[in-house]
Every structure is written in C-alpha cells, then in structure tokens.
C-alpha cells in the first residue's frame, strides 16, 4: 500500500496533464487513508526501498509519454519519512509540488 501511495505521488508529479495529475493525487489520498487506518502495519517498513520500487512503477514505459514535468532519475532516498506521511498536516498537493521542485526539470 505504501509503495502504491508513493508511486501515485510520483505519477502526479511527473505528468504535465492536470486532469491526470489530479486523478493520481486522489488515488494517493485514498491509499494514505487506508494506510493510516492500519498504523501498526507501517512500523517496520523500509521506506527507502519502497520509494525506489515506487519510482520504478511511476516511470513505467507505458506512462513515459505523459511524463513531462520532471526528468528521470529520482533520488534513492525517499523524500518523505513515514512519520511525515502519517502526520495530520501531510498534504498530497504539497508533496507533489515538493517532488517537482526538488527534481531536475525537464
């Protein structure tokens, strides 16, 4: 679930199509709600490993045509901690903006 959440954040950051970005953001919000419903399941996760897998999911060949906002090659370290993701003030839109601002621009 965390991997899917992170992948949807990346997809929202990568796409230049606002409608598609909003759809990915909504899916990320839904997955985050599901994750927060079972917080004990998040305790022992290795967020950096999940991030790296999620980046691979988001950069899938079938999605490359719409990925115009940022370049390939995201950092291997997740830009968000599990504590940040679980925090009440975590905002998906700000997270997507953060990914766009901290990545190389295309």
Full DSSP string of 68-97: -SB-S---SS-SS-HHHHHSTT--HHHHHH
Which residues, in sequence order, are CB contacts of 76 under 8 Å at separation 6+?
A: 48, 51, 52
- Select, from the ranges 11-25, 41-55, 81-95, the one with the highest average predicted confidence (pLDDT): 81-95
Question: Average model confidence (pLDDT) for the chain?
Answer: 86
Q: How confident is the model at residue 88, as a pLDDT?
A: 95
Residue 103 confidence (pLDDT) above 80: no
Which residue's structure tokens are 């950051």? 13
Q: What topology does CATH give the domain 2-102?
A: Malate Synthase G; Chain: A; Domain 4 (1.20.1220)
Q: Can you tell me the distance from the alpha carbon of 21 to that of 40, in angstroms, rounded to the nearest whole number? A: 30
Sign for the CA dihedral angle at 1, 76, 88, 39 comes to: positive
Q: How confident is the model at residue 71, as a pLDDT?
A: 57
Domain ranges of the chain: 2-102
């Amino acid at each position: 679930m965390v991997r899917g959440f992170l992948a949807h954040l990346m997809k929202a950051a990568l796409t230049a199509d606002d409608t598609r970005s909003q759809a990915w953001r909504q899916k990320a919000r839904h997955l985050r709600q599901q994750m927060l419903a079972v917080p004990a399941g998040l305790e022992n996760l290795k967020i950096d490993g999940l991030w790296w897998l999620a980046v691979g999911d988001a950069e899938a060949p079938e999605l490359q045509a719409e990925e115009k906002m940022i370049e390939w090659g995201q950092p291997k370290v997740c830009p968000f901690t599990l504590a940040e993701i679980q925090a009440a003030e975590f905002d998906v839109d700000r997270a997507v903006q953060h990914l766009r601002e901290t990545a190389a621009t295309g």
